[in-house]
């Protein structure tokens, strides 16, 4: 198909819909947008189906955080992975809109570390993913989304304070790279960039897909993949319009990119996964923790880029530390205390710094489909669980080295602690249910591999069980990455899209 395509608001459609396409892509997030754009630009007739709404950047850019969470976040930001055994509950946030989670990122960009790619090749047999072979995909993605280093002038004092402490303790920070053009450091990235400076896929990729003829339907939830014999031939789903219409897309090729939580649910509903038993398993999330610190002097951490520096000194211990900031109102909501105690803490906001730490986790989770709902559970391995108090200690000590008076650890029900309090902390015995843990990086539930018994897709991204069905989202990562994943996901999707572009469509 050539000529301009369109973005159709599903909720404005009347009744049911049945259409034909060369390729149907489920989900318009980081993975789906890259595949849709690459194939549309190669002249294929592409249809994208997205469960969330189409919210224009000019619209989400004006929303208050609470509005943004209702309109472009999944479940208003409350999705959980239920902690099993000695694991905390994990708040796993995702986007649900045209552009997917990409619209919510802080813009942080890391390539998949070489040692991870080499491990995939050496241990999992994925020799096509060696660093040298992945380089063209990384280059193409980074060019398309304008990845560049955050200038030192944009660092917030919140980050600078952590950097000072880190330098004193011998784990210096490094400058981060982000996908922005003209970022002014207003710090609202997670709720949708008001200046269209963040090159999320709704700004960087999807307009190109539409210009090349792709049709994107928002408000359409795909329920299952249609198959004929051993081949995928389309999808079926629901339109969120007044009539609760049905939609069927007949396609020569199906690409599932609904993210690591929802692609396995769609595959399972379609009867895929019985052979390997791996669909929905091997969920990793990069469990993450935020630590705040109180300084005598004002920090005003909202001035400067949301994220600008990181520390990978502890990579060998599977820890990464990233700078971050949260809009003031939201940050107050996460502070300890109730009533006057909360008010006292809120008044300290200008003097607070904040930093994040995350674990390069071993696969401990699973996505289940229960009574039509998608639910995740997560059992941290013993080794990962032992890293939590270590993160608290490293971050607390770093802030004290920078002159902080108190640190607020993510332990529910506790107030700030001073340096002595941190030393006395019985880290090994913090009850899991009191640990505040979040994740923005679900991965691994439809992992790539070289054997149909241990993985869901092959090195081309095609499912072992159904021909012409591909998965191209965070689910295909063979393991967690230890770094923020958007560039890895887009690059893996790009690689799959290049293969599909060069492979003739079935008749
Ligand atoms: C708050 C936040 C901050 C983040 N910050 C960063 C960062 O700074 N750097 C970084 O590298 N990564 C970051 N990430 C992670 C990154 O955004 C994701 O890893 C990446 O976008 C995942 O890509 P994906 O294609 O797997 O899924 P998504 O981008 O989530 O796309 C999946 C899409 O599929 C849709 N969908 C689901 N089910 C269906 C269905 N049944 N039918 C139709 N459509 C469906 C969803 O609505 C969604 O739009 C962040 C994520 C969040 C939530
Ligand atoms: S800091 Fe502000 S301008 Fe920069 S990418 Fe984030 S939201 Fe956009």
Mean pLDDT of all residues belonging to the chain: 95
- What per-residue confidence (pLDDT) applies to 395? 98
Give the chain's end-to-end CA distance (angstroms, integer): 16
- What per-residue confidence (pLDDT) applies to 26? 98
Say if residues 251 and 21 touch (Cβ distance below 8 Å): yes
For the chain, which residues make up each domain, given as ranges? 6-148+194-270+441-502, 155-178+185-189+284-361+382-437
DSSP state of 300: -
Which residue spans within 242-361 are E strands per DSSP?
Answer: 246-256, 288-294, 309-311, 319-323, 352-359
Measured from the Cα of 94, ligand 1's closest atom is: 53
Tell me how far apart the alpha carbons of residues 133 and 110 are, in angstroms, rounded to a whole number.
17
Q: Tell me the mean pLDDT in the region 264-271.
A: 96
Say if residues 439 and 286 touch (Cβ distance below 8 Å): yes
Q: Which residue has the tokens 């958007």?
A: 486
What's the pLDDT tens digit per position in 171-181? 999 999 999 99
- What per-residue confidence (pLDDT) applies to 372? 83
Protein residues whose CB sits closer than 6 Å to any atom of ligand 2: 107, 180, 183-189, 193, 195, 197-198, 305-306
Measured from the Cα of 196, ligand 2's closest atom is: 8
* pLDDT tier at 370, thresholds 50, 70, 90: confident
Tell me how far apart the alpha carbons of residues 94 and 484 are, in angstroms, rounded to a whole number.
14
What's the pLDDT tens digit per position in 146-193? 999 999 999 999 999 999 999 999 999 999 999 999 998 888 899 999
Q: The CATH number of 6-148+194-270+441-502 is which of 3.50.50.60, 3.40.30.10, 3.40.30.160, 3.20.20.80? A: 3.50.50.60
- The proportion of the chain whose per-residue pLDDT surpasses 90, expressed as a percent, equals 87
Which of 71, 286, 360, 441 does the annotation list as catalytic? 441
pLDDT exceeds 70 at position 5: yes
What's this model's pTM, rounded to 2 decimal places?
0.97
Protein residues whose CB sits closer than 6 Å to any atom of ligand 1: 26-32, 49-52, 93-96, 100-102, 104-108, 190, 221-222, 257-260, 262, 266, 440-441, 473-474, 484-486, 489
Tokens standing for 240? Answer: 């969120």
Q: Tell me the mean pLDDT in the region 361-377.
A: 92
Which residue spans within 33-141 are E strands per DSSP?
Answer: 46-49, 80-83, 90-92
Q: Tell me the mean pLDDT in the region 126-145.
A: 98
Question: Which phi and psi (to 5°) does residue 48 adopt?
Answer: -115, 130
Residue 441 annotated as catalytic: yes
Tell me the CATH class for 155-178+185-189+284-361+382-437: alpha beta
Tell me how far apart the alpha carbons of residues 286 and 359 are, in angstroms, rounded to a whole number.
5
Ligand 1 center from residue 37 Cα (angstroms): 17
Mutate to test the pocket of ligand 1, among 10, 76, 95 (most ligand atoms within 8 A of CB): 95
Tell me how far apart the alpha carbons of residues 178 and 200 are, in angstroms, rounded to a whole number.
11
CA 76 to chain centre: 15
pLDDT exceeds 90 at position 304: no
Residue partners of 302: CB distance under 8 A and separation at least 6: 156, 187, 325, 327, 328
Which candidate, 206, 137, 218, 234, places its Cα nearest to that of 493?
137
- What per-residue confidence (pLDDT) applies to 317? 96
Residue partners of 222: CB distance under 8 A and separation at least 6: 26, 49, 51, 235, 236, 237, 258, 266
* pLDDT tier at 290, thresholds 50, 70, 90: very high
Task: Calculate the alpha carbon distances from 283 to 91, 255, 376, 468 in Å.
Answer: 14, 20, 9, 24
* pLDDT tier at 413, thresholds 50, 70, 90: confident
């Amino acid at each position: 198909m050539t000529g301009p395509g369109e973005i159709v608001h599903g909720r404005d459609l009347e009744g049911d819909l049945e259409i034909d396409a060369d390729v149907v892509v489920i989900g318009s997030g980081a993975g789906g947008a890259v595949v849709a754009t690459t194939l549309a630009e190669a002249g294929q007739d592409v249809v994208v189906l997205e469960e969330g709404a189409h919210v224009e950047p000019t619209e989400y850019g004006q929303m208050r955080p609470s509005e943004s969470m209702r309109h472009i976040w999944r479940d208003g930001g409350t999705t959980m992975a239920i902690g099993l055994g000695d694991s905390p509950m994990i708040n796993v946030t995702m986007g649900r809109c045209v552009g997917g989670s990409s619209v919510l990122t802080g813009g942080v960009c890391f390539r998949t570390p070489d040692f991870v790619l080499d491990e995939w090749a050496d241990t999992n047999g994925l020799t096509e993913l060696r660093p040298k072979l992945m380089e063209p995909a990384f280059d193409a993605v980074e060019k398309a989304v304008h990845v560049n280093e955050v200038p030192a002038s944009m660092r917030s004092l919140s980050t600078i304070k952590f950097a000072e402490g880190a330098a004193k303790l011998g784990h210096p920070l490094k400058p981060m790279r982000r996908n922005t053009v003209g970022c002014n450091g207003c710090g609202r990235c997670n709720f949708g960039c008001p200046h269209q400076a963040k090159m999320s896929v709704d700004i960087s990729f999807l307009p190109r897909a539409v210009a090349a003829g792709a049709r994107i339907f928002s408000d359409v939830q795909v329920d299952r993949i249609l198959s004929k014999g051993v081949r995928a031939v389309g999808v079926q789903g629901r339109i969120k319009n007044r009539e609760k219409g049905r939609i069927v897309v007949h396609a020569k090729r199906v690409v599932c990119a609904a993210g690591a939580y929802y692609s396995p649910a769609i595959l399972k509903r379609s009867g895929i996964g019985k052979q390997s038993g791996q669909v929905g398993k091997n969920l990793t999330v990069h469990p993450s923790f935020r630590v705040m610190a109180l300084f005598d002097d004002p920090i005003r951490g909202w001035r400067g880029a949301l994220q600008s520096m990181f520390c990978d000194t502890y990579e060998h211990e599977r820890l990464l530390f990233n700078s971050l900031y949260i809009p003031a109102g939201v940050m107050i909501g996460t502070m300890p205390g109730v009533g006057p105690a909360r008010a006292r803490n809120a008044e300290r906001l200008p003097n607070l710094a904040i930093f994040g730490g995350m674990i390069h986790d071993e696969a401990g989770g699973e996505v289940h489909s229960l009574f039509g709902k998608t639910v995740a559970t997560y059992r941290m391995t013993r080794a990962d669980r032992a890293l939590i108090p270590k993160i608290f200690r490293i971050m607390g000590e770093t802030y004290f080295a920078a002159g902080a008076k108190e640190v607020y650890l993510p332990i529910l029900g506790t107030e700030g602690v001073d340096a002595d309090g941190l030393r006395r902390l019985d880290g090994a015995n913090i009850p899991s249910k009191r640990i505040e843990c979040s994740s923005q990086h679900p991965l691994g539930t439809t992992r790539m591999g070289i054997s149909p018994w241990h993985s869901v897709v092959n090195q081309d991204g095609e499912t072992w069980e159904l021909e012409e069905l591909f998965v191209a989202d965070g689910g295909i990562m063979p393991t967690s990455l230890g770094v923020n994943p958007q560039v890895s996901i887009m690059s893996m999707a790009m690689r799959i899209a290049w293969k599909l572009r060069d492979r003739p469509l079935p008749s």
